[in-house]
Chain A
Amino acid sequence: MTYYTVSFYLFAAIILLSAYFVVTTKNVIYAAFNLLLTFFGVAGFYALLGADFIAIVQLIVYVGGILILLLFGVMLTNKITDTEIKTGAFQVLPASIIVGMFSGVLIASMTNNRWIVSANTPVAADTLRTIGNILMNQYILIFEVLGVLLLIALIGAASIARK
C-alpha cells in the first residue's frame, strides 16, 4: 500500500463519482461543478502518469477555459432569474442497458489484451523539454495547423454566435 496506490484509488474515486454526478444530476450548475472535480481527478491521473506538464495544461485549459465557457453557456441560455436551473433526462432505460453493455465490451477488451509494456522506464526529469522538442521538430506542421485551427474556431464561433 504505497502512496502511489493510495493516490490512484483516491483520484479514481473522485473521477468516477463526480463523473457519475455530472451525468445524472438534474441541476445544471451542480453538474458543472462536478465536472470541475472530474477534471481535477484527471489532472491527478496525469500527474501519476508522469505527465506533469499536461496536468497543468489540463487545469488551465479545462478548468480555466472550457468549464467557464460552459458556465457562461448555462447562464446565457437560461433565464437568470430562475433559481432552479434543472433539466431532465430521457430514454434512460434503453440508454443504460446499451451503454452498460458497451462499457462491458470496452473493459473486457482493455483487460484481456496483452499490451506491450516496456521495462519500467524512469519518468523523464523534464517532460516539458521533451514535448517542446517533439512539437518543434516532428510535429511542427501539425502545431502550426492547430494554431490556424484555433484562429478559425475563434472567428467561426464569433460569427455563428453573432447571427
Chain B
Amino acid sequence: MNELSFIQAALVVLFLPLLGFTVTILYGKRFKWLYLFEVAIITIALGISIYMLFIRLAYFADAPPFQKEFLWINLGIVPLLGKVTVELGIMIDNITVLMLFVVCLISALVHYFSIEYMKGDKRYSRYFAYLGIFTFSMLGIVFTHNLLMMYIFWELVGLSSYLLIGFWYEKKSASDASKKAFITNRIGDLGMLAGILLIFSTYHTFTFEAIFAQIKAGQMPLNSGFWLTATGILLFCGAIGKSAQFPLHVWLPDAMEGPTPVSALIHAATMVAAGVYLTVRIFPMLTGDALLFIAIIGALSAFIPATIALTQTDIKKILAYSTISQLGYMIMALGVGAYSFGFFHLITHAFFKAGLFLGSGSVIYAMHHEQDIRQMGGLRKKLPITYAAFVIYSLAISGIPLTSGFLSKDGILASAYAFGGLTGYKIFAITGFLVALLTAFYMFRLIFVTFHGEPRNQHKYDHAHESPALMTVPLIILAVLSIFAFYTANPLDAGKGWTLSSWIKTPPSVVPASLRYEFMNEKQPEVAEVSKSHNETEPVAENVEAKKNEQIIHSEEYTHALHSAHYPAMGLSLLVAILGIFTAYLFYIKKVVNLDAFVEKIKPLYNFSLNKWYFDEFYNSVFVGFVMLLSKILNWFDANIVDGIVNASASVTRTVSTFSNAIDKYIVDGLVNFLAILTGMFGIFLRKLQTGKVQTYLVMVIFSIIVLIFIFI
C-alpha cells in the first residue's frame, strides 16, 4: 500500500457514509430493509479503516503525513491579499488513522446496537441515514488537511447532531435540546471563524502545513505575538463549543434527549472529540499563553461537571457530566503540554465512554425506557453481561490499573504534576486529583445504585431482561478495548508502550521560542540571552532560532520532571480512585451514613450541585434577561419617541395630502383615465391575436420569418 492508495482508501471511507445517507434517506421510506445497506456500508468503512490503521502504524509510523490536495478556488489576484487560491485536501498521519479507527468502530457498533434499540421506531431508516451523514461529516474533520474544510465539516457535524438530538422532535424537550445544542455551538464557531479569517488574512492559506511553515519563518498575525495567541484562542473557541467546555458546556446534558445510541456516538467518540481533535491539529501553533488559557478552561470543565454529576439521578445525565469532565481532562492535558497523553485519553475515553452510554442504553432498554436510577437497583442479576461490562468501563474511567483509563489518566495527572513543578501552576494537578476522586465516587455511586441493593421498582424490575446479542456484543467489544493490553505491554506505564513511544508523537512547536512555555525550550545560557535581545541581533537570533526549531518539543528538564513525577502521581491517583470507590461503597452499600440526614446537613451545596451550579438559570437571567431588558428599552423608545415623531409627521402629511387630493382628483385622474381607455383599446386588439391555438401562433411565426428574411437578405 503506497501513499496514493492510502489517499484513495481515505476517499472511499470518507464518501461511503455519504452514499449510505443518500440512498437511505431517498429510498428508505419505500424499502424498509434499506437500513441494512447503511449498516453494511459502515461495516465496509470499518474494515478499510482497520486496514489503514494497521498498514500505517506497522510500516509508515515514522513516515511524514501523506497529503494530497487539489485546487478548489482560484481567485487570482485580489486587492490587499495578493494571489489567492484555496486548496482542499486530505492528510493522513498516525493521529488520523487512530482517530479514523475510533470513529468508524464506534459508529459501526452504534449502528449494530441501534438495530435492536430503535426497533419499532416510525422513522427507523431515517435514523440510520442520519447516522450515516453524521459519520461522513466526522470523517471529513478527521481527514482534512486545512482549516476551511475543517470548518465546513465542523458545521456539518453541528447540523447532523442537530438532526440526531432532535430525532424525536415530537417531544418538546428534544426539539428544544437540539436547538440549544445548535445555537450554543454557533457561539463557539463564531470564534473559530474569526480565527480562521485572521489566519487567512495573514497567511493566505488554510493548509495546516503551510500555516505552520510561515509561523516558523517568523510571520505572525498583525506582526505581534499577542495576536498569535489570540488566533490560537479564537480557534480554540470552536473546540469549546463542540467539546462542551466551560462556559458553553450547557448543551451537552440536554442533548441526552436524543436516542441513547446517538448519545454514545455523539458524546463519546465523535462530535465532542472533534474539539479535542481540532486542538490537537493546531497544537504546534499555540503559544504558551494560549496553552495556559486552554489548560484553565480544561481544568474548570473538568471540575464543575464532576461536582454536578455527584447528585444527578438520571443515568444519562450522570454520564453526560462525566463526559464533559473527561473532555476537560483532555483539554487540560493539551494545555499543560501533554499532547500525547491528551490524545491518548481521547482514544481510551472514546471506547469506555461509548461503552458506558451503550450500557446505559441497554439498562434503559431493559427497564422499558426508565432513566431514573432511583427506580432501578439490583439489576446485577437481571443484566449480567451489561453489569460486567459496565464495571469494566467504570474501573477504566476511575483509573484503576490494568485498564486503559489508568494509563491515559495517570499520564495526564503526571504531566499536570510535572507542569506544576516546572511553572508553579500547581492548581492543575490539584484539580486533576480532585476530579479523579469525584469521578471514582460518582461512577461507583451509579453502579451501586443501579445494579446493587434491592429493586426499588418491583414492577419494572420483574419485567427487566438481558438485552439481545446485537446489543451485548458491542458492549463486550468495547469492554475488551478498555483493557491495557491493546496500548502497552506494561500495565503501569504507558510511556514505554507502543502507542505513545511510536504512534503518537508530539509535533514540534512552531511558535517563536520567546512565546513558548519556558520548559519547552532547551536551557542554554546564550540562547536565553539572545532571545532577550531578540531585536538587536536579528541575524544571530534567527540562526539560533533555526537550530532550536529542529529539536523536539520537550527539553531534557521537562522529560526529567515528567519522569520523576510519574510514580508519585501514579500512587496518588490510585489512592484517590480507591478512596472514591470506597466512599461510594460506604455510602451506598454499607449505608454507614444516613444519606438523607447527610444531604440535609449540606443542603445548600447539594442543591447547588443538583441544579447544575445554576448555569442554565444564570444564562437565562443574564443573557435572555439582558435581551429582554434591551427589548423593553427599545419598546419604550419606540412607544414614546419614535411614535411621537411618526405622529407629528402624520399630521403634516395630512395637511399636505388635502392639497394633493385636489390636484389628484382633477388633473391626475383625468390623465390616468385617458391612459386606461387607451390601454383598453390596445387590449381589445391584442386579445384577438391571443387565441390559444397553436396553429395561429405558427402562422405568426412564419410571417415573422418572412419579415426577418426580407430584413436581413
Q: Is residue A95 contacting chain B, with contact meaning CB distance below 8 A?
A: yes
The closest CB in chain B to the CB of A101 belongs to B706
In the complex, A32 Cα to B702 Cα: how many Å? 26
Bound Cα distance A71, B709 (Å): 38
Contact B695 A98 (CB under 8 A): no
Let me know if B564 is at the binding interface, CB within 8 A: no
Query: What 1/0 flags go to B31-64 for Cβ under 8 Å of A?
Result: 0000000000000000000000000000000000
Distance in angstroms from B618 CB to nearest chain A CB is 65
- B699 close to A (CB within 8 Å): yes
CB neighbors of B among A53-106 (8 A): 90-91, 94-95, 98-99, 101-102, 105
Q: How many A-B residue pairs have CB under 8 A?
A: 17
Q: Are A91 and B702 in contact (CB under 8 A)?
A: no
The one of B695, B703, B705, B706 in contact with A91, judged by C-beta atoms closer than 8 angstroms, is B695
Question: With an 8 A cutoff between CB atoms, is B457 at the interface?
Answer: no
In the complex, B657 has a CB within 8 A of chain A? no
Please determine whether A98 and B709 come into contact, CB atoms closer than 8 angstroms: no
Interface: B696 (CB within 8 A): yes
Q: Which residues of B439-463 are within 8 A (CB) of A? A: none
Within 8 A of A (CB), among B639-674: none
Interface size counted on chain A using CB atoms at 8 A: 9
* Dominant secondary structure at the A interface: helix
**From B695, B699, B705, residue with most partner A Cβ within 10 Å:** B699
Which B666-713 residues have a C-beta within 8 angstroms of A?
695-696, 699, 702-703, 705-706, 709
A91 touching B699, Cβ below 8 Å: yes
| SS of B interface (majority) | helix
Residues of B within 8 A of A94 (CB): 699
User: In whole angstroms, what is the CA distance A99 to B705 when docked?
Assistant: 11
* Complex contacts, A102 vs chain B, CB 8 Å: 702, 705-706
Contact of A91 with B709 at beta-carbon distance under 8 Å, contacts A98-B702, A99-B702 already known: no
Among B695, B696, B699, B706, the residue within 8 A (CB) of A105 is B706
Contacts of A95 in B (CB 8 A): 699
Closest to B704 in A: A98
A107 → chain B, closest Cβ, in Å? Answer: 13
Residues from chain A with Cβ under 8 Å of B703 in the complex? 98
Least CB distance, A87 to chain B, in whole angstroms: 13
Q: Which residues of A contact B699 (CB under 8 A)?
A: 91, 94-95, 98
Instruction: Tell me the complex Cα distance, A29–B586, Å.
Output: 106
In Å, the complex CA distance between A90 and B709 comes to 26
Whether A98 and B706, one on each chain, are in contact in the complex, defined by CB atoms closer than 8 angstroms, is yes
In the bound complex, CA of A47 to CA of B702 (Å): 32
| A124 and B407 alpha carbons, distance in the complex (Å) | 92
Q: How far is the CA of A105 from the CA of B709 in the complex (A)?
A: 9
| List of A residues within 8 angstroms of B695 by Cβ | 90-91
In Å, the complex CA distance between A103 and B563 comes to: 102
B695's closest neighbor in chain A, by CB? A91
Residue of B nearest to A104 (CB): B706
With a CB–CB cut-off of 8 A, which chain A residues contact B709? 105
Once the chains are docked, how many angstroms separate the CA of A95 from the CA of B696?
9
Q: Complex Cα distance A98/B704, Å?
A: 10
Q: Which B residues lie within 8 Å of A105 (CB)? A: 706, 709
Contacting B at CB under 8 A, from A88-144, are 90-91, 94-95, 98-99, 101-102, 105
**A98 proximity list for chain B (CB < 8 A):** 699, 702-703, 706
Q: Which of A90, A95, A98 has the most CB of B within 10 A?
A: A98
Which residues of chain A are near B706, meaning CB under 8 Å? 98, 101-102, 105
In the assembled complex, the Cα of A91 lies from the Cα of B705 at a distance in Å of 19
Kindly provide the distance from the CB of A102 to the nearest chain B CB, expressed in whole angstroms. Answer: 5
For the complex formed, measure the closest distance between the CB of B713 and the CB atoms of chain A, giving whole angstroms.
Answer: 8
The docked-state distance in angstroms from the alpha carbon of A140 to that of B699 is 38
CB distance from B697 to the nearest CB of A (A): 11
For B403-447 the 0/1 string (1 means CB < 8 A from A) is 000000000000000000000000000000000000000000000
Whole-angstrom distance between the Cβ of B712 and the nearest chain A Cβ: 12
- Distance of A26 Cα from B394 Cα, bound (Å): 95
Cβ contacts under 8 Å, A101 to chain B: 706
User: How far, in Å, is A51 (CB) from chain B's closest CB?
Assistant: 30
Report the minimal beta-carbon distance from A35 to chain B, rounded to whole angstroms: 19
Contacts of A90 in B (CB 8 A): 695
Chain A residue at minimum C-beta to C-beta distance from B698: A95
A122 to B126, CA, bound (A): 72
A97 to chain B: closest CB distance in Å? 9
**Which residues on the A side are within 8 Å of B705 (C-beta)?**
102
A95 to B700, CA, bound (A): 9
Closest Cβ–Cβ distance, residue A37 to chain B (whole Å):
25
Q: Report B172 CB to chain A, min CB distance, Å.
A: 46
User: Residues of A with Cβ closer than 8 Å to B?
Assistant: 90-91, 94-95, 98-99, 101-102, 105
Could you list 17 examples of A-B contacts with CB < 8 Å? A90-B695, A91-B695, A91-B696, A91-B699, A94-B699, A95-B699, A98-B699, A98-B702, A98-B703, A98-B706, A99-B702, A101-B706, A102-B702, A102-B705, A102-B706, A105-B706, A105-B709
Which 3 residue pairs of A and B lie closest in terms of their CB atoms, listed nearest first? Answer: A98-B703, A102-B702, A101-B706
- Beyond A94-B699, A95-B699, A99-B702, 5 additional pairs, beta carbon < 8 A: A90-B695, A91-B695, A91-B696, A98-B702, A102-B702
